[in-house]
Structure 1
Amino acid sequence: EMEKLDTNASEEQGFCQLSEDYKQIYLPLTYSVIFVLGLPLNGTVLWLSWRQTKRWSCATIYLVNLMVADLLYVLTLPFLIVAYSLGDWWPFGELLCRLVRFLFYTNLYGSILLLTCISVHRFLGVCHPLRSLPYRTRRNALLGVAATWALVVLQLLPTLGFSHTAYISGHMVCYDMTSPENFDRFFAYSMILTLSGFVLPSLVILVCYSLMVRSLAKPEKTLERTGNTTRAKSIRTILLVCSLFALCFVPFHVSRSFYITLRFLASQDCQLLTVGSMAYKVWRPLVSMSSCLNPVLYFLSVGNNGVRLFQKLKHDKAGEHPAGGKGERPGGGQ
């Protein structure tokens, strides 16, 4: 993680030693909680989606891809848990170091873009239910998902170059950002990534939700066009996505931008550096809590159908019904 960079920076400047003992307890603990919650939650959603017999709706296509992004990331957590428990020693080699860092950012920016797709889809269903029907098709949802993955991978290819392993005092570490000599280039790349991967999608979501809230605030008009169920689903989606941004994505990007700006400006204020470093390292694992909250979005989107399907599948497992029983389709269309 970045802390080895801090050690380097403080050796060069000789003024600011950052104590980071808290990390050896805090990081393995938070990553373990996310792993223990995220793996079964996302696994269950994928299993439920796989078992449903009807064709996936657009919302289900987006949500399943969200769960895949979460699972890819959650499966890298055991490596981080071991590395931080060993006091920041990375025993897994160069390739896994780059892959773990790459998948962290893939999950982060993939989640943000997929949540943007879900929000635009909901917005069209609520504000332009009839006009948007030709566009709210499964084909377009699949195209949207393919474009999202392609964009995310293209945006994040540089992270494979920036992150790498290095020996510091005979101790193998895996850089979270990059080594000190590449830091200026990394800073420029990070700022562009924050704008394209976080600020722009956030603005799109904000516009969609503002217009949706305005439309949903006129119940008679909305109910005529969209019906009660869609209205309830839309309100739940707005609340959960806003919570995700407020709890996970916004604090992470603010603390990260603040910290790397301090580093880029080579700030001499030791107290500020300590606060910046700590804020970033505290929020870095917390941004991954989205992996545990995304499955909740699935159950809120599919409503009672999803709960019924889950109960039915539990019965199947207990042998009360034949194993191949027909699953119900979670709704979550418009």
Structure 2
Amino acid sequence: MAEVSGEIGPGSIFRILTLSCPFTLDILHHVLSTRKNRCVRSDVCIVILLITMVLGLLGNIGLICIITRRREKVNVTSIFICNLSFSDILVCVFCLPFTVIYTIMDHWVFGSLLCRLVPFIQCVSVTVSVLSLVFIALERHQLIINPSGWKPSIPQANMAVVLIWILACFTSTPFLAFQLLTTEPYTNVVLPHSYHTLLSYHWPSQQHRLAYTTWLLLFQYCGPLLLVLLCYVRVFVRLRQRKEMLNRARTPESQRITHSRRINIMLVALITAFALCWLPLTIFNVLSDWNQEALPICHHNLLFSLCHLLAMSSTCINPIIYGFLNSNFRQEVREVLMHCCCRPLEEECEQFPMSIVHMEVSRTSVPLNCSNNSL
């Protein structure tokens, strides 16, 4: 049996394939005979990955900056959303660039240290993302189901963020222990140099590998999504009951419930996007580990590329969802854009004597008109 470069769970780029020697040679023959078509697909994947990386970086950095711009409005939910965005930034920095270069080069060129570190960071970032969504759901559940009870504070939310990162690092440590850079699988096969340097996971046994991949499936995907689903079902049921009790009256309480419902819809959209983006890759991973023969040999790389691209797209979907479904966020974006667009105009106006009133107005990010404020 030979382990070829691959991926365990949704936490890394490369897929583990435990293959017999004849099956390995069949894959190599197919890869070499269809290299031209694969290069075309690689070009398409590279373009999509680059677009995803740029959008993910800009969107998540912008989201963090806008949320932290008004420190007095920062709450527990926004802290976890910032943590979610930061984990997406890690994916854009430590996952997508290496995926692009690996796709171009056809072999690993970053040495043994990054061979271990890159999958570890990728697994950490995915675990942080899903645990952040879980803590958001738990916080919303507590506020809606038991509004007069205990409410998490900002320091407690910060402690939860630290706990999330500790759990994520602990869960991802097998990538540091068992990931190796090797040429062993193809020692006796004549291939171009680009197929000689591979990433391989050397587990103590097949049972250890399957146990870990199953643990990732439960801890990174099935378990968190089930818990989040339970929380939001209870939240929506409670909000509906309260709305019926108020008989749709236009009271401040009714408006507050409507506002909470909108926030919950946005948060459910975030977790739904995460679940849908990672579902194909999760299914691919399960089939590859437990029933490799169920995946067609000739389309194996294509299927993995499509699943991987969809999973990576989650990094740029979160800011879009947050922007479209959060009116406060859209207002902050407009204020930032107006401030940036009006800054050159303000600098030109400030070359002339200004009244105290004008100086006060210039601090509010309101677009200025030189002719109207020169008095």
TM-score past 0.5 threshold: yes
Alignment partner of 1:192 is 2:222: no
1:284 aligns with 2:284: no
Distance 1:221 1:279 in 2: 51
Please list, as runs of the form range in 1=range in 2, the aligned pairs for 1:1-334 lying within 5 A after superposition. 1-2=5-6, 9=19, 11-13=21-23, 16-17=26-27, 19-20=30-31, 21=35, 22=38, 24-54=42-72, 56-76=74-94, 77-86=96-105, 88-131=106-149, 134-167=150-183, 168=186, 169=191, 170-171=193-194, 172-175=196-199, 178-179=201-202, 184-218=207-241, 219-221=243-245, 224=254, 226-245=256-275, 247-263=276-292, 267=293, 272=296, 278-299=302-323, 303-318=326-341, 319=343, 325=363
Paired amino acid for 1:83? Y
Residue 38 of structure 1 deviates from its aligned partner by 0.6
Contact 1:164-1:178 within 8 A present in 2 as well: yes
The whole-number CA distance in structure 1 between the counterparts of 2:202 and 2:167 is 26
Name the larger-Rg structure: 2
Measured in 1, the distance between the counterparts of 2:178 and 2:46 equals 24
The aligned residue for residue 331 of structure 1 is none
User: How far does residue 74 in structure 1 lie from its aligned partner after superposition?
Assistant: 0.4
Shift of 1:221: 4.0
Q: Give the direction of change, closer, same or farther, for the CA distance of 1:123–1:221 in structure 2 (3 Å limit).
A: farther
Distance apart, 1:275 and its partner CA: 5.9
**TM-score of the superposed pair, with normalisation by structure 1:** 0.81
What is the CA–CA distance in structure 2 between the aligned matches of 1:326 and 1:129, rounded to whole Å?
35
The alpha carbon displacement at 1:232 in A equals: 1.3
Answer yes or no: is the 8 Å Cα contact 1:166–1:173 preserved in 2.
yes
| Structure 1 stretch displaced more, 91-100 or 62-71 | 91-100
| Fraction of identical pairs, as percent | 20
RMSD (Å) for aligned C-alpha atoms: 3.1
Instruction: Note the C-alpha offset of 1:316.
Output: 2.3
Return closer, same or farther for 1:45/1:239 CA change in 2, 3 Å cut-off: closer
Distance 1:115 1:29 in 2: 29
Please tell me whether the aligned partners of residues 269 and 321 of structure 2 are also in contact (alpha carbons under 8 angstroms). no
Question: Take 1:150 and 1:261, find their aligned partners in 2: how far apart are those partners?
Answer: 29
Q: 1:277/1:101 Cα in 2 relative to 1: closer, same or farther (>3 Å)?
A: same
- Superposed CA offset, 1:71-92 (max 9, x none): 1120122222122112x22222
Deviation at 1:294, TM superposition (A): 1.9
Residue 150 (structure 1) shift: 0.7
CA drift at 1:40? 0.7
- Amino acid across the alignment from 2:65: W
Runs of at least 5 residues in structure 2 that lack an aligned partner in the other structure: 7-13, 247-252, 348-361, 366-375
> Using a 3 Å threshold, how does the CA distance of structure 1 residues 114 and 212 change in structure 2: closer, same or farther?
same
1:261-290 residue CA offsets vs partner (Å, 9 max, x unmatched): 124xxx5x7x65556665444212321211
Q: 1:325 to 1:292 in 2, by over 3 A?
A: farther
Q: Deviation of residue 191 (structure 1)?
A: 0.9
The range that moved more, 143-152 or 290-299, is: 290-299
Shift in Å, 1:292: 0.8
CA contact (8 A) 1:38 1:70 kept: yes
Structure showing greater relative contact order (alpha-carbon pairs closer than 8 Å, 6 or more residues apart): 1
Separation of aligned partners in 2, 1:162 and 1:281: 24
Of stretches 13-22 and 308-317 in structure 1, the one that deviates more from structure 2 is 13-22
The answer to whether the 8 A contact 2:239-2:257 is kept is no
Deviation at 1:39, TM superposition (A): 1.1
Structure 1 unpaired stretches of 5+: 328-334
Deviates more, 1:100-109 or 1:271-280: 271-280
Letter in 1 for 2:115: C
Report the Cα offset of residue 256 of structure 1.
0.8
**Distance change in 2, residues 1:11/1:52 (3 Å):** same
